[in-house]
Chain A
Amino acid sequence: MSTGLKREHDARFPVARPLAFGQVYATLERLRARGLVHAAASVKVDGPERTPYAMTEAGRAELERWLTEVEAPSPFVSNPLSVKVTLALLTTDEAVAEDYLRRQREAHLQRMREYTRLKVERPSSLLEVLAADYALTHLDADLRWIDAAMSRVADLNKEIHSCPGP
């Protein structure tokens, strides 16, 4: 059953990180322990024995509750690009930070070209187009940040070197 679930997940979310088998087993076991799914009798069809799982009534109710729940925007934004720019200014100079930003911009745009071609040349489904849209939007947001950082790097350098830090 875990093979089928993994295959289904990876097909439905084509640009997401592929699901690990161990994660499927662990999650099913957690759901079973909470009474949200139950294992039916094992079946053997063309190969190893498989255990089908089905949602319980409590599981269906939990799913419906979860579907109406708004995801909270993350309170913390992890930005490894910003960390690198700050450390470049602290330990080297403005030119190193600017050069890094330029190369990071090109790497981002290259990835955006790949997603754009995926959409334009051979999308296999609308799900894939939507997944590429999501990736493109996030890469675009990073890229705008890179452009803003590029414009502010000189001022940031002055600020960093004018105050001793917290």
Chain B
Amino acid sequence: MPRPMITPAPHVVSATAPEVVLSGRELVKSYGSSLALRGASVELRRGEILAVTGPSGSGKSTLLLCLAGVLRLDSGEIRFDGRRIDDAGESARSALRRREFGVLFQFGQLVAEMTAAENVALPLLLGGARRRPAQAAARGWLARLGIAELSDELPSEMSGGQSQRVAVARALVTEPAVLFADEPTGALDTLAGEAVMTELTRVARDAGTAVLLVTHDARVASYGDREIVVRDGLIR
């Protein structure tokens, strides 16, 4: 295997020891009699992009949903910024998801009746922001993602790649500490997927947002700083 003729310097996340922003320890989660996580442990460092890979059905999406506080664990513990969050009540977990976490799924799941700017402003409005500053922030994020011209378009007027970039803006508009991305390019062709990943990683790095990137695709995983592989509900 030849070395690249031009080898970039390794990406430096932080000059000091990386700080853990989110961790899961000995996570166990089952669906009925089926055990999806069997004691998985993971650490996400501040500002890093961590690729979570593994075969279909290995437990990687369950790991993401548990860490994001969407699913309740059977056992184990999850800490965010050093504080235990897995035992928090639903309203506290919901507030944490609104303020500190962003989520991005395979299909952007934009609200069909809203324009791109309205979709992006939505998390801010749900968090109590006023309409005008929320709209301004939304338009700013669309500009950062290079799609300012789509601000007043409806999702039905956009391509798959454009919709997904709007979804990236919506996931980052609250400037979360952690972005959870589950197969964010799974519904896109190669070039549209590359454009989304290039923009996603660029703006996440600029904002210092850590990304937990679930993917079965090694080319998508190669946008990350580090990889963990989930097999049979364990990190291998």
Contact = CB atoms under 8 A, between A and B. Distances in A.
Main secondary structure of the interface of B (DSSP, over half): loop
B5 A144 contact: no
A52 B52 CA distance: 55
Nearest to A142: B1
Contacts of B221: 109, 112
A112 B217 CA distance: 12
B218 A118 contact: no
B32 interface: no
B84 interface: no
Main secondary structure of the interface of A (DSSP, over half): helix
Interface stretch (A15-23, A66-74, A88-96): A15-23
Nearest to B8: A117
Interface string B207-236: 000000000001101111101010000001
B227 A132 contact: no
A136 B219 contact: yes
A115 to B, nearest CB: 6
A138 to B, nearest CB: 8
B82 interface: no
Contacts of A143: 218
A106 to B, nearest CB: 7
Contacts of B224: 113
Contacts of B7: 114, 118
B220 to A, nearest CB: 9
Contacts of A116: 219, 222-223
Interface in A94-144: 102, 105-106, 108-109, 111-122, 124, 128, 132, 135-136, 139-140, 143-144
Interface string B1-38: 11011111001000000000000000000000000000
Contacts of A57: none
Contact of A144 (B6, B194, B198, B218): B218
Contacts of B198: 120
Interface of A: 10, 14-18, 102, 105-106, 108-109, 111-122, 124, 128, 132, 135-136, 139-140, 143-144, 147, 151
6 contacts: A15-B6, A118-B4, A118-B6, A120-B201, A120-B223, A124-B6
Interface of B: 1-2, 4-8, 11, 55, 194, 198, 201-202, 218-219, 221-225, 227, 229, 236
